[in-house]
């Protein structure tokens, strides 16, 4: 099992450019998440998908869009990148049920917007 | 909305020292509690979790955490740290009705050999 995979690992964009971050999981999890990690800020939730076909905003959704392509894949799109979106982006997945399932994280994408 | 506070932002210890990292949360109802660790250059992984039962939870690599409901706390402890424990540690809390956790800002731990 690869777990949660993310592409690309690194990306440099100019202000105004667009890009899509890809995430896939092979654990048959229902729920998937996108976080950004900034120094001293911890992880902040951008968007999440409770199950295939649904997406919802998290704490910091402005400037981002997501697509839950199927149960395995959850992509994050920056339509017009801004320097404030320079960050490390983590995708995660988890099961859902009566007990609190932990999240499994991908290796991250380090994005720099100049 | 739930908030999670990690009071120690940076901790520096020598090997064999004892560790305690604080975590407090704001929600007064049923909570699910997690500690994650992020080693340098790696992704987050689960150290331990609590959702019911014995409030003293044991995790991987000799870590443990104690849930004290009256103090809204879930502090992480390790009796004797090693250089390989150098990492960032995140506390996360989800409220009983939500499966989505709120993360604290993290504590950076540096262990000197």
Report CA B112 to chain centroid distance, whole Å.
20
- Closest residue to B90, CB basis, from A42, A92, A107: A42
- pLDDT value of residue B96: 66
- pLDDT-derived band at B30 (thresholds 50, 70, 90) equals confident
Distances (CA, A) of B83 to A107, B16, B20: 22, 9, 16
- Closest residue to B46, CB basis, from A40, A45, A102: A102
Mean pLDDT for chain B overall:
93
- The shortest C-alpha distance from B13 to chain A (Å) reads 20
Give mean pLDDT, residues A40-49: 92
Q: Is the CB of A93 inside 8 Å of chain B's CB atoms? A: no
Report the C-alpha dihedral over residues A80, A81, A83, A84, rounded to 10 degrees: 90
- Burial (CB count <10 Å: 0-12, 13-18, 19+), residue A9: exposed
Does residue B24 contact residue B102 with C-beta atoms inside 8 Å?
A: no
Residues contacting A42, CB < 8 A, separation 6+: B6, B90, B103, B104, B105, B106
Residues contacting A39, CB < 8 A, separation 6+: none
pLDDT: which is higher, A111 or B51: A111
pLDDT, tens digit, for every residue of B59-100? 999 999 999 999 999 999 999 999 999 999 999 999 866 778
């Amino acid at each position: 099992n690869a777990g949660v995979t993310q592409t690309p690992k690194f990306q440099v964009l100019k202000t105004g450019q667009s890009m899509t971050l890809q995430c896939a999981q092979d654990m048959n999890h229902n729920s998937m998440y996108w976080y950004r990690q900034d120094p001293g800020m911890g992880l902040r939730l951008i968007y999440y998908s409770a199950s295939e076909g649904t997406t919802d905003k998290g704490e910091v959704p402005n400037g981002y869009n997501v697509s839950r392509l199927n149960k395995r894949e959850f992509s994050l799109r920056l339509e017009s990148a801004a320097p404030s979106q320079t960050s490390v982006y983590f995708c995660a997945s988890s099961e859902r049920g009566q007990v609190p399932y932990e999240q499994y994280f991908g290796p991250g994408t380090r994005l720099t917007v100049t | 909305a739930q908030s999670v506070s990690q009071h120690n932002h940076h901790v520096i210890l020598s090997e064999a020292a004892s560790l305690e990292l604080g975590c407090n949360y704001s929600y007064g109802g049923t909570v699910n509690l997690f500690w994650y660790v992020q080693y340098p250059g790696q992704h987050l992984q689960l150290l331990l979790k609590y959702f019911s039962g014995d409030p003293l939870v044991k995790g991987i690599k000799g870590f443990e955490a104690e849930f004290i409901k009256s103090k809204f706390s879930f502090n992480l402890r390790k009796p004797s740290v090693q250089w390989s424990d150098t990492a960032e540690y995140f506390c996360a809390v989800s409220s009983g009705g939500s499966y989505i956790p709120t993360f604290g800002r993290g504590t950076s731990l540096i262990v000197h050999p």
